[in-house]
Amino acid sequence: MKNSSIYKYSTLFKTQYANMLEYRAEIALWAISGVIPFFMLNIWTNNGLNESINISNIMLSRYFLSAFFVRQFSVVWVVFTFEEDALLGRVSPFLIQPLHPFIRYFAQHLAEQITRFPFALLIAIFFFIFNPQSLWIPSILTIIIALISTFFSFLIQFLMQSIIASFCFWTEKASSIEKLLFIPTLFLSGLLAPVSSFPYYVKSWIYLTPFPYLIDLPASILSGNKANIMEGIIVQLLWIILFFSIFKKVWKSGTKKFTAMGL
């Protein structure tokens, strides 16, 4: 029984991977569209803004490169796929299958991340060609911890978006809620500026929200900047548990509401 479910998931993953490989040009473009942290780095160092927050140019460039990587591997778009599937009536057959529809989407995201990896690496190599002094090789342990933290960040975002996606059962156009939620994610997660540079009146409450754990924490771990590693990962886990239980509730009441569309 257990073997058969492993077989099921690995097949699901393989088909999604094959599917994603077909769109590698698209994924490459998508990887390029994530270069915003590098532009921000340029503003920071070019104007000497980092002097007063005590992060050297090299550490800051490592931070932004790590932020780029973390962002690349925590991009989530489940709400857009689910909305399209719901509007076109593709959700109905998914609901009948003995597999939670979101496991399918989850496999899709993982497959996309693996397809994306070489492109992200290529961009990083270009980055090092232009900034050779910021080259560093983190220890294996750091890489593993950063990977775990990045995966947790991905899980938090995936669950948050899945909750929003479940609202599709009520409103049809849930993606606009996601666009709203994306704004604080963009500005508070540390993608555009490290959280340590935030003014005190924001720092005092920001750690009560999930946002700094999305990019700032894993990026700081990977780049070797100051971070509360143990504490951060535990908080990430707490958010995952919270969002997972909310998602289960919303999904349960949503499927009861479900009216098939399209066909």
Partner 1 sequence: MEIWNKKVYCYGFMNIKKYLQVYSYFNYSSFSIELEYKINLFIDLLTSILGLIGSVFLLSIFFSNTDKIGGWDFNQALIIQGIYTILNGVTNTWFNPNLKEIVKYIREGTLDYVLLKPIDSQFWISFKRISPTGLIEILLGFFVLSYCFYLNNISFTIWSLNLLIITLICSISILYSLWFLISTTTIWFVKTWNATEVLRSFLYMGRFPMDSFSFSLRIFFSTVIPITFITTIPSEVLLGLSPAWKIILEILVSMTFLIFSRRFWKYALKFYTSASS
CB of 228 to partner 1, least distance (A): 21
Give dist(CA 134, CA 109) in Å, integer. 30
Give dist(CA 229, CA 217) in Å, integer. 8
| Residue 172 binds to partner 1 (criterion: CB under 8 A) | yes
CB of 95 to partner 1, least distance (A): 24
Report the residue from 60, 164, 193, 215 that binds partner 1 according to the rule CB under 8 A: 193
| Residue 186 binds to partner 1 (criterion: CB under 8 A) | yes
With contact defined as beta carbons under 8 Å apart, do 168 and 86 qualify? Answer: yes
Please, is 4 exposed, middle or buried when counting C-beta atoms within 10 Å of its C-beta (0-12, 13-18, 19+)? exposed
Residue 193 phi, psi dihedral angles, 5° rounding = -155, 135
DSSP annotation of 214 reads: T
Give the residue from 76, 59, 73, 69 showing the smallest Cα distance to 194. Answer: 59
Report the residue from 5, 7, 8, 43 that binds partner 1 according to the rule CB under 8 A: 43
Per-residue x/- track, 13-42, partner 1 (CB under 8 A): ----------x-xxx-xx-xxxxx--x--x
Tell me the number of residues near partner 1 by CB under 8 A.
39
Per-residue x/- track, 76-115, partner 1 (CB under 8 A): ----------------------------------------
Per-residue x/- track, 195-214, partner 1 (CB under 8 A): --xxx--x------------
1's enclosing H/E stretch is none
DSSP string, 169-190: HHHS-THHHHHHHHHHHHHHSS
Q: Which is nearer to partner 1, 3 or 52 (CB)?
A: 52
Residues that bind partner 1 (CB under 8 A): 23, 25-27, 29-30, 32-36, 39, 42-43, 46-53, 171-173, 176-177, 179-180, 183-184, 186-187, 192-193, 197-199, 202
